[in-house]
Structure 1
Amino acid sequence: MAKFLFIPIFFTLTLPLVVGQGFNMIKKSNVKIPNQLYTDIWGYERDNGQKFAVVGTRQLTLIYNVTDCGNPVQVFQHNDSFSSVWRDYKTYGNAIYATADQSPYTQGLQIINMDNYTVTNISTHFERAHNIFVDTAHARLYVAGSNTVSRGLIVYDISNPLTPVHLSNIQINLLVNAPNLNTYVHDVYVRNNIAYTSNGSIKKMYQLDVSNLNNVQVMATYNGAEGYNHSGWTTEDGVYVYEALEVPKGLPINIYRRSQTNQNMLEKIGDFKDPLESPISENNRPHNPFVHQDKLYISYYEDGVQVYDVSDGANPTRIAYFDTYPNNNGTGYGTNSTFNGCWGVYPFMSHGCILANDIENGFYTLELDLPDPNDNGNVSMSEDLVQDISGKGIVLRSPKGYCFQVGVDTSGNITLTRMVCESTSVVENYIYKSDISFANGKSIVAKNTNGNCYKMGLNTLNQVTGTSVTCPQPTTPSFRINNSNLIIDTYTKGIVLYNTFLSNCVRLTVRDDGTFIATNLTGCP
C-alpha cells in the first residue's frame, strides 16, 4: 500500500501519488468482471490504427478496444458454454484463433471474425488443445498439446485466415524413433521455420526444422531441465532461448543456445530470477516469456509482469515490473500446488500499451515508465530527517528494483539492508522521480536498536560515515519517520548530501549488491 508524503518540507515540484506495486512500470487501467477467473491474453491491431485486447476467462472470451491504453472499451463477449482453466489465443489477418484444454470442451479450433465477430468452430482434427502459435512469416498455425496425434503438433495453412487448411501432424516420438516416449508438446514457438517445443514433464526441449512439413527434422535437443518445461521464446536474432520452468516453484528462467561444439544439442548457459518476495522467499514461479525488440516480458504468477533488458542476450537484467497480484505481498509465496497471479502478458502493441491478465485480479493495461536522465525532481529538506523508530527509514531502489533500507548498526556504521519492496500490511511513503536533498549541514539521523542516534555524512573519499549525535527531542526542529518507510522509488534518484571536505554535493544511490554509489554532482539542488 502507499500514501502521499504529507510532511512540511519544501517541494521543488508536485509529487504524484505512487502505489507501491511497480518499478519503472505504471498501471493505466484494471478491469475485473465479478465471479470470473482470468486465463490468457493476446492483442491485435487493425489497418485503421485501432488496437484490441483479446481477454480470456474460464467462461468467456472478451475483446476490448485499447487504442486509449488507459480506457479499455469492451466491444465483444462470447460464452461457448464451457468452462476451462486453460484458454489460448492468437491472431492473423482478420481472424482470432482460440482453443481450450479442459474436458468436456469439444469445439476444437475456434475462429472469431474480427470484422463482424461471428464465431465458427473446426473440430475435424482435434477437440481440445493446450496452446496455439501463429508463424506470421509463413502463414501457419501450430496447435500444441491437442487430444490427438499423441499430443504433438497439428499444422494449418492460414493464408486464408478464416478458413484454415490442415497441412500436417508432427509426432516427436516418431521423429526420434521412440514410439513409446511421451513427447507431449505443452507449448511451441516458431521462428525462421524452426520450431522450439516445450515438452513439459519429460524435461526436454526440441528444435525442429519445419521448412518441409513432409520431412520434419530434429535439429537439436536439450535433456535434463530441472523442472516442467512450460514455454519458451527466442531473442529476435534467434541466438538465445528463454525457457520458463513452471513446476516446482522456485526454479529460474533458463537460457539456452545452440552448442558451439555440437550443433545437434542445445546447451544451457545460465539462468536468472528476481523474486519480489526476496529476502523472505525465493520461490516465485514463471509462466510465459515473450521477447519484443530488446526486452523480455514474463508473466510471473504472484510476481506479476517482469521486464528484462536482453540487449545482451546471455545476461538479462531486470529493468521493470508491475505486481498484478499484491494479495500476499510481504508474506512469501503460496504452496507448490497453488497457481495465483499473472497468467499472460502481451507486449507487442505499437503504442506501448502492455496487456496482462491476472487470474484473480483481472485485465490490466500497463506502460513502461523508465527513468529519464533529464528528470531533475528534488525534495529539499531544511532540517534533519530523523528515523525515529529503529526498523523504519529511507529506502533506496537498485537498478534491478531491489529495495535497501538505510539504517545504522550498534557500532554506528551506516548500513543498507535488503527488504521486500511491497507489503499488504504496511503503509509506506514514496518519492517518485526525485532526489531527497539536504543542505546547511542537515542530513539523516538514524536510531539503532540500542536507541543511539548517528548522523549520516561523507568523508574525504565520499564514503558514507555515521557520527554519534544526541537523539533529537520531539521539540527539536526536524522531520521524522515514525511508523513507515520513505521509499525513493526511482533508482537513478537518491539521497543528496553536501560533502564539507570536498565542498560539493554528492548523490547516494545503491547497487544491486547493496553497496552505496557516490556520484559527484556539478551543482547542488
Structure 2
Amino acid sequence: MTQADRPGVGTHRLVRAACLVLALMLAGPAFAQQPGGLSPRMMTLEQTSYAPITGARVACADSTAAAFRCHNVDLLAFLPLAALGNATTTSGNDLWGWTDPETGREYALVGLDNGTSFVDVTDPVNPVVLGMLPSHNGTASLWRDVKVYRNHALIVSEAYGHGLQVFDLTQLRTVEQPPVTFRETAHYDAFGAAHNVVVNEESGFAYAVGIQGIQAEVGCGPGLHMIDVREPARPAFAGCFNSSVGRGYTHDAHCVLYRGPDAEHQGREICINADERGIVVVDVTDKQAPVERGVGAYPDAGYVHQGWLTEDHRYFFQDDELDEAYGTTARTRTLVWDLEDLDDPRLYLVYHARTDVYDHNQYVRGDRLYQANYRAGLRILDLGDLASKAVSEVGFFDTYPAADGPGFDGAWSVYPFFESGTILVNDMDAGLFVLEPTHAARLVARDSAVHEAPEVPGAFELAAAYPNPFNPATRLTLTLGTAQRVTLAVYDALGREVARLHDGPLAAGTHAFVFEAPAGLPSGSYVVRATGPEAASTRTITLLK
C-alpha cells in the first residue's frame, strides 16, 4: 500500500496546525514560554491515505498486520476517510457505537470534520457505510463528538452555530441503497459550538462541555450545559455548572449514577470533569443546584483532557494531553485518582508508557483500559491487579505508522463497548479501524453492565436483558460458576429499589428471571443488579411505554 496526501488538503492541514497551536497557547501556561518553544516535529500534521482493507481478518503476526505495527490485536477491517465521508471530508475525530436492541446489529458512529458517518460493523470484516449526516448548517470543524441515548445519536461540534444534532438511529435498519445522506431528527440551539457531549444513559441527561460563544438565554459558562434528553427528539435545557478550577472550562466528563465506595454519595448523579488544570467532582442530581464536591490537582499539569471511571466507581483514569509537550514527562503518562472519598480525590498511581506520544481519549471496560494515543494508536492496559498498583500494557495497534513521538496525528478515539468484542478506532488522518484483541489483550474479567461471561469456574454473569427496551416484561439470565446466595433487584435512577426478583441460594448453572414492570412504573432506564458474596453484575434496562 502507498501513502500520500489526497488532493486539495494542504490548506486544510495548515488550518488544522494553526488551530492546534492556538489551542496550545490558550490551554494553560503559554507554550511560547516553554523551553525551545514549538518544535517543528510537533507541527508535522500529515494526512495518510490507505486503500480499504476488507473481506478477511489480517492477523497480527511478527508484530505487524498489513502495514501496521501491532501486538495481540488483529485487524478485521479498515475504511479510509474517502469511503466514510464525501468529497469535502478531510479529517476524522471522535466516534461512538450503537447496538440495535431489536436486531443486535452493531454500528460505528464516526465523527468527521464535515459530518457523522454511520457504518454497519455487524460483520466486522465486511463493514458497510450506510450514509452520512452532514454537519448542521453545513459548517465543518476539526472537532466533533457523538454519544448515544435511547436509540438516538447526540452530536456536537465546534463548528459555529452547530448546537446539538439529534439523529434517530433506527433509520439505519432500512437503508436500501447505501450510502445515503441523512437529515437530523431534531436540533437543540441553546448553545452554538461545543467541544464534547457527555451522556448518562441511566438518568437520561446529556452534558455539553467546552462551550464557546453565546448560549441563547440560558447564561451558562464554559462548563456543563445540562440537557434533558429523556425524550431524545425533544431536548430541553436543564441547568448549568462552572467549576472553581481555572476559567471554569470543562473539556470532557464522565457522568454516572454513583455506586462507588463513598456511602455519603451513593445513588447520586455524579460527574467527574476534566477541567484543564485538574479533575472536578460534581453532584448534578439537582440540575438547578449542582454542587462541587472535590478537586484533584497536581503541580505539573499540562492539560487535563479526559478520563473514565472504573466500573466499581473507585478509580478515575485521566490523561494529560500536553504534559509531554511541556516537557514535564518524558513518556506518555496516565494519572489514576482514588475516589474512595469524592470530597477529597487522591492521586493513587501514575502509569508511564513506553511511548513518548501525546495521549487523547481512553475508556475502561472490565479489567481493561483502552487508550487512543495519537501516533501510538490503540493501547490496551491490564487493570486486573489495580489494587496492587500494577498496570501493564498487554496489546497495541499502531494506526499511524508514518511517525512516532509527539504530534497531533493518528488515533483520536476508541470505542470498546460492543458485546461482540469488536473494537473501533477512529484515526484522524486515515479513517476507521475495526479491530479485535487476541491472547493476553482479550477482556477476561468483568463485573458490570457491559461484561462478557468469564470462562472460569467462578463465573458470575448477568446476561443482557431481552427484549430491551421492553414493555411490560423483559427476561434476564444469570449464570453462576458455583452455588451461592444471590440477591437480584431492580433500581431506579436514584438508586431506590423497584423490585426484588430473587433473594436466596442458587445452584451453579444458568437461571432465568422475568421482570414485569408494575403498572405505575414510569418510562425510563433502570438498573438490574445481581449481588453475591464475592461478585456483582449489573445491567441497564429501559422501559418504554
Does TM, normalized by the shorter one, top 0.5?
yes
The 8 Å contact of residues 94 and 162 in structure 1, kept in 2 or not, is answered as: no
Secondary structure of 1:150's partner?
Answer: coil
Cα deviation, 1:180-231, whole Å, max 9, x if unaligned, reads x51100011112211000011xx12110111222332221111235220000
Corresponding residue number in structure 1 for 2:105: 50
The 8 Å contact of residues 152 and 170 in structure 1, kept in 2 or not, is answered as: yes
2:75 is aligned, of 27, 32, 35, to 27
Structure 1 residue 240: deviation in Å? 0.6
2:313 is aligned, of 222, 230, 238, to 238
2:294 partner letter = A
2:437 is aligned, of 337, 354, 368, to 368
The 8 Å contact of residues 204 and 224 in structure 1, kept in 2 or not, is answered as: yes
Secondary structure of 2:402's partner?
Answer: helix
Cα deviation, 1:466-508, whole Å, max 9, x if unaligned, reads xxxxxxxxxxxxxxxxxxxxxxxxxxxxxxxxxxxxxxxxxxx
The 8 Å contact of residues 72 and 441 in structure 2, kept in 1 or not, is answered as: no
Secondary structure of 1:115's partner?
Answer: helix
Corresponding residue number in structure 1 for 2:161: 106
Gap change, CA 1:76 and 1:264, over 3 Å in 2: same
Gap change, CA 1:251 and 1:353, over 3 Å in 2: closer
Unpaired runs of 5+ residues, structure 2, are 2-58, 83-88, 172-181, 258-268, 325-330, 443-545
Pair 1:284-2:357 in alignment = yes
Secondary structure of 1:129's partner?
Answer: coil
Structure 1 residue 372: deviation in Å? 11
Corresponding residue number in structure 1 for 2:148: 91
Secondary structure of 2:385's partner?
Answer: coil
The 8 Å contact of residues 241 and 257 in structure 1, kept in 2 or not, is answered as: yes
2:123 is aligned, of 64, 68, 72, to 68
Cα deviation, 1:258-302, whole Å, max 9, x if unaligned, reads 366xx62211121113234xxxxxx21110110111111010101
1:248 is aligned, of 323, 331, 336, to 323
Question: Larger C-alpha radius of gyration, 1 or 2?
Answer: 1
Matches within 5 A, 1:343-492: 343-371=412-440
Gap change, CA 1:168 and 1:15, over 3 Å in 2: closer
The 8 Å contact of residues 26 and 368 in structure 1, kept in 2 or not, is answered as: yes
Gap change, CA 1:312 and 1:210, over 3 Å in 2: farther
> Cα RMSD over matched residues?
2.3
Matches within 5 A, 1:168-317: 168-173=239-244, 181-192=246-257, 193-200=269-276, 203-224=277-298, 226-249=301-324, 250-258=331-339, 264-276=343-355, 283-313=356-386, 314-317=389-392
Structure 1 residue 124: deviation in Å? 3.2
1:39 is aligned, of 93, 115, 122, to 93
Cα deviation, 1:294-324, whole Å, max 9, x if unaligned, reads 1110101010001111123343221111111
Structure 1 residue 251: deviation in Å? 4.5
Corresponding residue number in structure 2 for 1:522: none
The 8 Å contact of residues 425 and 432 in structure 2, kept in 1 or not, is answered as: yes
Structure 1 residue 74: deviation in Å? 0.6
Structure 1 residue 36: deviation in Å? 2.4
Q: Percent of pairs identical after alignment?
A: 26
Unpaired runs of 5+ residues, structure 1, are 2-13, 277-282, 374-525
Q: Distance in 2 between matches of 1:126 and 1:218?
A: 23
Corresponding residue number in structure 1 for 2:191: 126
Q: Distance in 1 between matches of 2:441 and 2:278?
A: 42
1:341 partner letter = G
Q: Distance in 2 between matches of 1:315 and 1:163?
A: 46
Pair 1:333-2:412 in alignment = no
Cα deviation, 1:99-145, whole Å, max 9, x if unaligned, reads 1014xx21200111112354045343101101111101111111111
2:271 partner letter = A
Moved more, 72-81 or 119-128: 119-128
Secondary structure of 1:70's partner?
Answer: coil
Q: Distance in 2 between matches of 1:360 and 1:94?
A: 29
The 8 Å contact of residues 257 and 267 in structure 1, kept in 2 or not, is answered as: yes
Gap change, CA 1:123 and 1:49, over 3 Å in 2: closer
The 8 Å contact of residues 186 and 233 in structure 2, kept in 1 or not, is answered as: no
The 8 Å contact of residues 139 and 162 in structure 2, kept in 1 or not, is answered as: no
Secondary structure of 1:311's partner?
Answer: strand
The 8 Å contact of residues 284 and 333 in structure 1, kept in 2 or not, is answered as: yes
2:370 partner letter = Y
Q: Which structure is richer in relative contact order (CA contacts within 8 A, separation 6 or more)?
A: 1
The 8 Å contact of residues 297 and 305 in structure 1, kept in 2 or not, is answered as: yes
Corresponding residue number in structure 1 for 2:474: none
Corresponding residue number in structure 2 for 1:163: 234
Corresponding residue number in structure 2 for 1:381: none
Secondary structure of 1:151's partner?
Answer: coil
Q: Distance in 2 between matches of 1:275 and 1:222?
A: 25
Q: Distance in 2 between matches of 1:297 and 1:251?
A: 14
Q: Distance in 1 between matches of 2:158 and 2:372?
A: 20
Structure 1 residue 152: deviation in Å? 1.0
2:240 partner letter = N
Structure 1 residue 27: deviation in Å? 0.8
Q: Distance in 2 between matches of 1:94 and 1:40?
A: 18
1:267 partner letter = R
Indicate the structure with greater helix content: 2
Secondary structure of 1:21's partner?
Answer: strand
Corresponding residue number in structure 2 for 1:320: 395
Secondary structure of 1:138's partner?
Answer: coil
- Structure 1: 4+ residue segments shifted above 4 A: 14-18
2:282 partner letter = L
Q: Distance in 2 between matches of 1:129 and 1:121?
A: 17
Structure 1 residue 21: deviation in Å? 1.2
Corresponding residue number in structure 1 for 2:205: 140
